[in-house]
Amino acid sequence: MDIQKIGIVGAGQMGNGIAHVCALAGYDVVLNDISQDMLDKALALIDRNLERQVSRGKISDEEKQSAMARISTTLVLTELGPSDLIIEAATERETVKQAIFEDLLPHLKPETILTSNTSSISITRLASRTDRPEKFMGFHFMNPVPVMQLVELIRGIATDEATFAACKAVVDKLGKTAATAEDFPAFIVNRILMPMINEAVYTLYEGVGNVRSIDESLKLGANHPMGPLELADFIGLDTCLAIMNVLHDGLADTKYRPCPLLTKYVEAGWLGRKTERGFYDYRGDTPVPTR
């Protein structure tokens, strides 16, 4: 299938990044959200990020202007109906995602491919609630989307080869690298990454090290560009907890039990950078550890 028009559901952290790279690659993009404020902020952020690429000589000003011109926005979900490919990038809650696909279905073309940017939810289960499980895939971008090279492509049990090939062609056109993952809880990246973050929180919880020493140990001792607790704040502690719960519930193994301290931070509303407090306090000029 020749994909030319891409509909994106959700203008948040992931959705605006996906819109950025798709428009820059030459696709017509329709970006949807339930909030006009979110759509306005997304367009402003895309413009700033493209301008940064211009200033670094990675793209021309003409390419930036063309990319911005390819992005339109809408508050009406059903206006994504004529898209060739839809990428759902809404909040990481299965009931929300199911409701979005349910509302979209009557307005889609028969050949439209549906995908989800979910970081952990079963693709097979999401697909089974639609009228086209064979045309449904996981399309998992990494954050921040314009910078990170990897896209996980996850087949549900019913996904056909033509759908996979079409999505792989999109990844190639974006200049990114596809990794094929099977549909098991959290796929590849988060299956490995989240237990590491969770173990770092246990290390803090048990008093083995403080926030600073844990992050410095992994940065300098394992050559990680960012410490695990700093990374958790960047991702969002609520997202980390949600993925750990998916792993724990889906694999029924106690090694995936979320650390009680992670749960406590989420209960406090200390979700990381987006709330200005997590394992670090971001309200001052420099981040300060909270433990």
The residues assigned a catalytic role are 119, 140, 152, 190
Phi-psi region of 269 (alpha: psi -120 to 50; beta: other; left: phi over 0): left
Residue list for the binding site for NAD(+): 10-15, 33, 92, 97, 119, 143, 274
Annotated binding site: 10-15, 33, 92, 97, 119, 143, 274
Residue 10 in tokens: 């959700």
Q: Which residues of 86-101 are buried (b: 16+ CB within 10 A; e: fewer)?
A: bbbbbebebeebbebb
Beta strand spans in the chain (E): 5-9, 28-32, 71-74, 85-88, 113-116, 136-141, 150-155, 177-181, 280-281, 288-289
Q: Burial level of 209, CB count in 10 A (0-12/13-18/19+)?
A: middle
> How many other CB atoms are there within 10 angstroms of residue 2's CB atom?
7
Query: Can you name the residues that pair with 180 across neighbouring β-strands?
Result: 153
Give 247's Cβ-side CA count (13 Å radius). 26
